[in-house]
Structure 1
Amino acid sequence: MILLRRLLGDVLRRQRQRQGRTLREVSASARVSLGYLSEVERGQKEASSELLSSICDALDIRMSELMREVSDELALAELAQSAARDAVPAPMRPMLNPVSVTSVTGRPGERVTIKRPAEAVDVVAA
């Protein structure tokens, strides 16, 4: 399962880091507690539209830019998840937990590596 809050947090963190700013600076500018902003960046809290607006103002980016980048990340995550599902033979699919797949490499008919956070599983793609 792809969690939007995690993708959103990743994009916000990258935006902040690109600017060379600290959590403390952005939280003060956005008038959001440091801890809460940290949880949003780590994908542990769902940010309201008002909070996102404040963070975007503090980062001097448009909310549409933020959402566009999140949308692009979501599309890539969906493709990776779909590729992971397609790379595993049908009888093995119930054993595959798509939440834990981080990447898939290979082409149909070749050996495919499905990487998970703590392991790698090799299968032959159909």
Structure 2
Amino acid sequence: MILLRHELGEVLRERRQEQGRTLRDVAAAGAVSLGYLSEVERGVKEASSELLGAICEALDIPMSVVLDETAQRVARVESITAPVSLPVGDRASVVSASAA
């Protein structure tokens, strides 16, 4: 199962690391607890919209960009884990055969 908080946390961590910033720096800039920010990045805690906004502001990244990147990651995981459809013939005959 895909957990949105895991994908969101990965996006936030990647963006922070791309900027060469520490957890401590971003937590201070966003007035967010260092421990809580760490848990959000690791996908342990869900970020409220207010908290996510503060983190995005501290990273100087629009929330829409973070959410878009998260959506793209979720879509990628879904495409990898989607069940494969196999042709099984006429669905009505399959249902009829199993009911008999």
Same fold flag (TM > 0.5): yes
Q: 2:11 aligned with 1:11, yes or no? A: yes
Offset at 1:52?
A: 0.3
Q: So what's the TM-score if we normalise by structure 2?
A: 0.83
**TM-score normalized with structure 1 length:** 0.66
CA distance in 2, matches of 1:13, 1:21: 10
- 2: distance between equivalents of 1:47 and 1:80? 26
Give, in whole Å, the separation in 1 of the partners of 2:51 and 2:63: 11
Distance 1:86 1:20 in 2: 41
Q: Structure 1, unaligned stretches of length 5 or more?
A: 88-126
Separation in structure 1 between the aligned mates of residue 42 and residue 50 of structure 2, nearest angstrom: 18
Give the share of equivalent positions with the same residue, in percent. 60
Q: Which residue of 1 aligns with 2:24?
A: 24
Tell me which protein shows more strand as a share of its residues.
1
Structure with bigger helix share is: 2
| Structure 2 counterpart SS, 1:46 | coil
Q: How many residues align?
A: 85
Question: C-alpha distance in 2, partners of 1:10/1:86?
Answer: 27
Cα shift at 1:86: 2.4
**Over 6 Å off, 4+ runs:** none
Q: Distance in 2 between matches of 1:32 and 1:67?
A: 19
Choose between structure 1 and 2 for higher RCO, CA contacts under 8 A separated by at least 6 residues: 2
State which structure, 1 or 2, has the greater radius of gyration over its C-alpha atoms.
2
What is the distance in 1 between the residues matched to 2:78 and 2:52?
23
- Give 1:46 shift: 0.3
SS for the counterpart of 1:86 is coil
The runs of 5 or more residues in structure 2 that have no matched partner are 86-100
